[in-house]
Structure 1
Amino acid sequence: MSNSYTLIKGSVPLLISMPHNGEEIPADIAKVMTAKGREVADTDWHMERLYAFAKELGAYILMPKYNRYVIDLNRDPDGVDLYPGANNTELCPTTAFDLSPLYQAGCAPSAEQIAARVADYWQPYHQALSSTMQAIKAEFGQAVLLEAHSIRSHVPRFFQGQLPDFNFGNADGKSCAPELMAALADLDYAPYTMVCNGRFKGGYITRAFGQPNNNFHAIQLELSQHTYMNEQAMTYNESLALQVQPKLAALVNTLINFTAINTISQNATE
């Protein structure tokens, strides 16, 4: 266990990772950031509260303490762009989603500082991901990872117009069994909109941990924040959340039940 993340152990073969919901910034980093940076406006807000039901369903839940502005846990530690040719945020972001600077002039993190953040924050989180997925597979024969994210409904830097409400990504079919994505696509999302492998195809974690041939299935959900938040105020909207949570519960139950169904199917073909 590390002081840079929280792992809630579960009892079913599903791990929910929330790599962008951490809100804290270490004091030595905060003092060289801009006021905008210290606001951590691009956080995946209130995810633990929104997914509180998943703990009751027995899911494992992994959450970082520190904000994505410190280091983005969903990026390649070597700094490789997630979407080549598109506008990407860095491993250690220097600008907010609205392109405003996160650091005071001359204070952006150096290569040495970035390496230290990888060691202090990125590596422990990914080790927790790996060991938890391995433990789940050892117990259940398969492991499912849900990368739970959220984002404002309008972010011109990354997409035009309004984002669909439910944005699933499975690395264009590479990170999970096709039957799993088909099961999620068959769910009733009305009155919300849903797309798979649209603007968001799954980040580094989904791509790295999704190995369906080895019984590791990973899928990312980028949920539009207007489904459960007052976006401008960055506050939780209980009324909105209560409407979207049944849809989230249905998909979480689908992920939990998939391993049992898939195991039966595999045994039948052996």
Structure 2
Amino acid sequence: MNWLHIERSDTPLILAFPHGGTGLAGFDDSFRSRWWAIRDADWHIRALYEGLADATFIWTDISRSVIDCNRDPSGQSLYPGQTTTGLCPTETFDGEPLYRDGYEPDPADRMAWFTPYHAAIRAEIARLREKHGRVVLYDCHSIRSHVPRLFDGELPELNIGTDMGKTCDIALSDAVVAASAGRSHVLNGRFRGGWTTRHYGQPDRGVHAIQMEIAMRAYLDEPSGEPHEQNWPPEWNPDRTAGLRADLAQILAAAMAFAKDPA
């Protein structure tokens, strides 16, 4: 499976990246636009975290437009009553139809990418729980700062999700919030954690899951207004990202310290 990647460490911290991929898995001709099919990726997300912590990294190269590995496989909405995207999205974040008529996806055909990704997460959690009393699963995300169809106004730079405290010990969320203090941030705001965080977070069993959704203006030069093919995605600029990377290093250090605490 050359689209699924695991870089292992023996520390009790796992970083997962479900939305950084742009591969269309051979479904290119099913989409109305390749650009629409990859536009809502978490751009440069793995590069943002690369080298910041000695942790296990798990990521997929498959676009979220093919299969969203952070959605409930049953198809149940994570945010009932709010606009969101599904397991196999049929629209972009802005509401454009993704698929040509007659080419809409069958979720059962797409589980060949969902299932191995989550099998990898389960296996790494089990491996590390044999070595540590606690494991932290930190789910890495980013999104445009303004997406009117999904939320009002401008997101805080750092959006921390624990499903209202259900997916991790309060000591972990407190530590991550404290380490985020230098930037605008919110705990359990518009994004409270996707299926990964909610499914694996079992603090009573030593597995603590937390999601970090980053507004892209924190590390990229977002264009004003709705993006178009000529200005999106923004280029990766190491100098532009240095400040956020330093802050994220502190956040991951706080998560690691919690995981290693024998209490």
- In the alignment, residue 40 of structure 2 is paired with which amino acid? D
Q: State which of 202, 207, 230 in structure 2 corresponds to 1:216.
A: 207
The residue matched to 1:128 in structure 2 has which SS?
A: helix
Which residue of 2 is the match for residue 268 of structure 1? none
Task: Tell me, in whole angstroms, the C-alpha distance in 2 between the residues paired with 1:8 and 1:156.
Answer: 36
Which residue of 2 is the match for residue 15 of structure 1? 14
Q: 1:103 to 1:33 in 2, by over 3 A?
A: same
Which residue of 1 is the match for residue 162 of structure 2? 170
- In the alignment, residue 47 of structure 1 is paired with which amino acid? I
Q: Does 1:73 align with 2:66?
A: no
Task: Tell me, in whole angstroms, the C-alpha distance in 2 between the residues paired with 1:260 and 1:17.
Answer: 19
Task: Tell me, in whole angstroms, the C-alpha distance in 1 between the residues paired with 2:172 and 2:244.
Answer: 21
Which residue of 1 is the match for residue 120 of structure 2? 128
The residue matched to 1:147 in structure 2 has which SS?
A: strand
Which residue of 2 is the match for residue 181 of structure 1? 173
The residue matched to 1:198 in structure 2 has which SS?
A: coil
Shift of 1:220: 0.1
Which residue of 2 is the match for residue 237 of structure 1? 237
The 8 Å contact of residues 45 and 150 in structure 1, kept in 2 or not, is answered as yes
Shift of 1:140: 1.3
Please say which of residues 198-207 and 227-236 is displaced more in the overlay.
Answer: 227-236
Instruction: Report Cα offsets for 1:127-158 as digits up to 9, x if no partner.
Output: 00001011111111221000000000000111
- In the alignment, residue 16 of structure 1 is paired with which amino acid? L
The residue matched to 2:5 in structure 1 has which SS?
A: strand
Instruction: Report Cα offsets for 1:101-137 as digits up to 9, x if no partner.
Output: 111122111xxx311211x101000000001011111
Q: 1:122 to 1:146 in 2, by over 3 A?
A: same
- In the alignment, residue 133 of structure 1 is paired with which amino acid? I
Q: TM-score, normalised by structure 1?
A: 0.91
Gaps of 5+ in 2: 224-231
Q: TM-score, normalised by structure 2?
A: 0.93
Shift of 1:205: 0.5
Deviating beyond 4 angstroms after TM superposition, the runs of 4 or more aligned structure 1 residues are: 36-39
Which residue of 1 is the match for residue 49 of structure 2? 51
Shift of 1:26: 1.6
Which residue of 1 is the match for residue 129 of structure 2? 137
The residue matched to 1:236 in structure 2 has which SS?
A: coil
Task: Tell me, in whole angstroms, the C-alpha distance in 2 between the residues paired with 1:129 and 1:98.
Answer: 30
Which residue of 1 is the match for residue 3 of structure 2? 4
The residue matched to 1:218 in structure 2 has which SS?
A: strand
Q: 1:88 to 1:188 in 2, by over 3 A?
A: closer
Instruction: Report Cα offsets for 1:20-57 as digits up to 9, x if no partner.
Output: 00111122x11111115555100001111111123xx3
Instruction: Report Cα offsets for 1:46-98 as digits up to 9, x if no partner.
Output: 111111123xx310000002000000000011100010111121100000011
Please say which of residues 96-105 and 225-234 is displaced more in the overlay.
Answer: 225-234
Cα RMSD of the aligned pairs, angstroms, is 1.3
Task: Tell me, in whole angstroms, the C-alpha distance in 2 between the residues paired with 1:41 and 1:130.
Answer: 29
The residue matched to 1:40 in structure 2 has which SS?
A: helix
Q: 1:229 to 1:3 in 2, by over 3 A?
A: same
Q: Which has the higher helix share?
A: 1
Which residue of 1 is the match for residue 228 of structure 2? none
- In the alignment, residue 251 of structure 1 is paired with which amino acid? I
Task: Tell me, in whole angstroms, the C-alpha distance in 2 between the residues paired with 1:96 and 1:36.
Answer: 12
The residue matched to 1:68 in structure 2 has which SS?
A: coil
Task: Tell me, in whole angstroms, the C-alpha distance in 2 between the residues paired with 1:90 and 1:37.
Answer: 19
Count how many residue pairs are aligned between Structure 1 and Structure 2: 254
The residue matched to 1:75 in structure 2 has which SS?
A: coil
Gaps of 5+ in 1: 266-270
- In the alignment, residue 126 of structure 1 is paired with which amino acid? H
